[in-house]
Amino acid sequence: MNRTNNAEMEFAVNHVPPSDDRYLKLMDVENVRSALRFHRSFPEYEVTPLHHLKKMSSYLGLGGLYVKDESYRFGLNAFKVLGGSFAIASHIAKKTGKNVDELPYDVLSSEVFREEMGQTTFYTATDGNHGRGVAWSANKLGQKAVVRMPHGSSETRRANIAKEGAEVTIENLNYDDCVRLAAAQAKADPDGVIIQDTAWRGYTDIPGWIMQGYGTLALEADRQLHANGVERPTHVIVQAGVGSLAGAVVGFFANRYKGDEPVMSVCEAGSAACLYRSAKKGTGQTVKVRGKLDTIMAGLACGEPNIIGWDILRNHARGFAACPDWMSAKGTRMYGVPLAGDPTVISGESGSVTMGFLAAIMMYPRYAEIKEALGLDENSQVLLISTEGNTDPMRFREIVWDGLYGVRHRGEEVVK
């Protein structure tokens, strides 16, 4: 396959009226430290790498470029386990009347505690990474998991979830309808609980805990930046599906550098850009995207915003980008075939779109207005997050080996 795609990116500078910002406190530093303490209690815990891409930052005309590599997270090749595991622990803490700090891994995984609490079945919908994280966490903690996946999901990702002992099926539904299915099945099960990385009216506690769990990677990255001599990132660019990760990362840095926030922006898959469309509408109301949401960025193929994440983003994100698939493919190739002297980063389609976005606005004159709107220049210290590694080997080879979604240049001179 040598498919090309010359679809254009769309970008909206954030002019949405601010809300009361009630959800920002979810991501305050103390809450995130609690999540990090929990994650550190797992035997598998290690801080994931923060790569300094020195040559690439120079090539793109930046002061510094850093990428948090979540392909190393708990051996699961993606960051999502951070949210699912902390949400399960927080749910159990609430159910048993304890503080989550009283329930580290060795307590939750003990036979005595499981006999005391009994078993819960955690239901979720996923394109792969979130479901695998929930299934892995439930398995480790002696609980059960049921996972529903949307049409077009990778068989490799389904098999990885099944290996964790979960009941898992691929449904003839899009992601958002799978969420509704999982929620209905959890409601019908006396021992069922929905663990979903999105929020809707009446369902905010568990999504909030998931976002706090994601905060672990932001806190780690902040500490690693300081160790690299970077007092504060000037720019943070983060990808979004429903907006849980984006809201978590933006919320953490907004709290961490209150009064002097980095310039933060959000990248979505163009066919599922519910946050971009909500920002473009400009009223504060969310916009839902319907249909099949076809994109190679499976982890970002979500058409209904997380109301918590959106509320944080409308108050603290500078802009929102609806990115075509070629940006993701370009980012994967740039990470995987680095400039001499830079480390190789194995980044899947949902992990690499921010690199493709950054490269495009720094290199292509047609995006000069976006570069200016974000204030990117030779003094910028930019943080990206590669949220997944090679989680779909067949698609990864199509991109890297076969040139899937290669870019046909339009005769414009690339800025270096």
| Residues belonging to the active site | 80, 127
Beta bridge partners of 69: 386
Note the Cα 356 to chain centre separation in Å: 16
Which amino acid, one-letter code, is at 278? S
Beta carbons within 8 Å of 25's beta carbon, 6+ residues apart = 31, 255
Beta carbons within 8 Å of 415's beta carbon, 6+ residues apart = 61, 362, 363, 364, 365
Beta carbons within 8 Å of 312's beta carbon, 6+ residues apart = 21, 23, 24, 27, 247, 250, 251, 254
Strand order in the sheet with 167-170: 167-170, 144-149, 121-125, 192-194
